[in-house]
Amino acid sequence: MVDREQFPKQIDRLVASRTLHGSESLCKLLRYLAAHAIEHPGTPLKEYQIATEVFGRRPDFDPQSDSTIRVQAGRLRAKVAEYYASEGESDPVVVELPKGSYLLNFRYRTPVPKEELVNHAPVHEPVTVAPQKSYGGMAATLAVLLGLAVVTIGYLLLNGRVKTDTASAATAGPLAPAEFQVFWRKFLSGPEEPWVVFSNAEFVGRPETGMRYYDKQRDANTPPYDHYTGVGEVLSIHELDQVFNSLHRRIRVKRGSLFSLDDAKNNDLIFIGSPSENLTLMEIPSTDDFRFDRVKTGPRAGDLAVINVHPQAGEQPFYLASRAGDPLVEDYAVVGMMPALNPQRTEVILAGTTTFGTQAAVEYVCRQSSVKQLLDRLGTSGGEVKPFEAILHIKVAKGVPVETELVAVRLRNQ
């Protein structure tokens, strides 16, 4: 007999899932919304109530000027949809958070006979959740340095090299969704685990007194720091590790300043960060149609942009993030897959003009629905992804990528 006792159990499944693993704030929000839905069915919830009771906001919280709750709800909505598209696809109870609402819905995947539900009032009517075209990232709470949020990642590195060591990586759990298996296929069969190479620019100064980018002429006699990277790059490594773990494949992680051309010759590669930060990309095959470069003229001269080398109808010649000094509300990123320096190996580039664009690019290839969208645009057939380049437009709110749109795609020659 199926009854409402299954609803809290289903919430426990979601909280314990790989999809929500590590998302403590989202799990807290999910439990709160579920308890309200079960105990007070049909009773509206206000942003102010969630902000003060779940996230500990002050009594003067103003939802009109602070979008935190809407952003968190959007992230939770995307995560729940992702869960049911993968590891929860056969769960008997489906949890839904309709867009524009904070009222959680429960429904049975298989209709339950009315006689089995007698004396059990419904929580809510089921509402179909539209597929999300974008996903929010994790909240960025680290300090901003010269427009780039940076976080030390010494704990990730041991002599410049890390190998993910999840004991169950090769044996545990079901395989990832088919879209992941198609998109990442070339990275699953090589003799060595793929390298994930993240950007780490050079800085001078000290964290406690202020730092800035290293200038070769100005700082010739000053040793630079090269062990910092953007918060988006750090979160990206976690995202990729989760995906490859679901594919029963390990990854190896290396910072760009320690990467060598020998590595490029012998391994499949995933680069995180633009050439302005990931200087190794200057020396190996990179994107042809969508390139990172500084704007040469005009009011944005000197700003880093994604240059559209061969613009097509309706496309811009270059794409820029929000102007420096203004709130960062948009960014652009490039996703590309191509043969590596060794044509037998494969290379993927995931890079934004800011760390948040980079984070969004990685999230885009780590979400089932967006990978499916990309595969559809590429016309993938026979389970083979041909070399391509794509550009993404990202909306950012409070240092979090909240919406990602596929702007253009190019198939490239081998």
* 21-72 per-position pLDDT tens digit: 878 889 999 999 999 988 888 888 889 999 999 988 888 888 877 888 888 8
Residues 113 and 151 in one domain: no
Strand 105-108 and strand 346-352: the pairing is unpaired
Tell me: pLDDT of 173 over 60: no
* Average confidence (pLDDT) over 105-110: 82
Q: Is residue 1 part of a domain?
A: no
Domain range enclosing 107: 6-117
Residues 205 and 243 in one domain: yes
pLDDT at residue 175 in the model = 66
Q: How many domains does the chain have?
A: 2
Q: Is residue 122 part of a domain?
A: no
Q: Is residue 235 part of a domain?
A: yes
Higher pLDDT, 235 or 115: 235
The length of the chain in residues reads 414
Q: Is residue 238 part of a domain?
A: yes
Q: Is residue 36 part of a domain?
A: yes
Tell me: pLDDT of 336 over 80: yes
pLDDT at residue 350 in the model = 95
Residues 253 and 290 in one domain: yes
Residues 88 and 169 in one domain: no
**Residue 317: band (very low, low, confident or very high) from pLDDT cuts 50, 70, 90:** very high
**Residue 297: band (very low, low, confident or very high) from pLDDT cuts 50, 70, 90:** confident
| 71 CB-near residues (< 8 Å, 6+ apart) | 136, 397, 398, 400, 402
Q: Is residue 338 part of a domain?
A: yes
First to last CA, the chain: 58
Q: Is residue 257 part of a domain?
A: yes
Q: Is residue 159 part of a domain?
A: yes
pLDDT in tens, 239-290: 999 999 989 999 999 888 777 777 777 889 999 987 666 555 555 657 888 9
pTM for the predicted model, two decimal places: 0.60
Residues 151 and 295 in one domain: yes
**Residue 132: band (very low, low, confident or very high) from pLDDT cuts 50, 70, 90:** very low
| 112 CB-near residues (< 8 Å, 6+ apart) | 2
Residues 304 and 156 in one domain: yes
List phi, psi (to 5°) of 211: -135, 160
* Average confidence (pLDDT) over 337-360: 91
What one-letter code names the amino acid at 220? A
Residues 207 and 266 in one domain: yes
Is the Cβ–Cβ distance between 235 and 154 less than 8 Å? no
Tell me: pLDDT of 361 over 80: yes
Across 119-133, 139-153, 206-220, 335-349, the highest mean pLDDT is recorded for 335-349
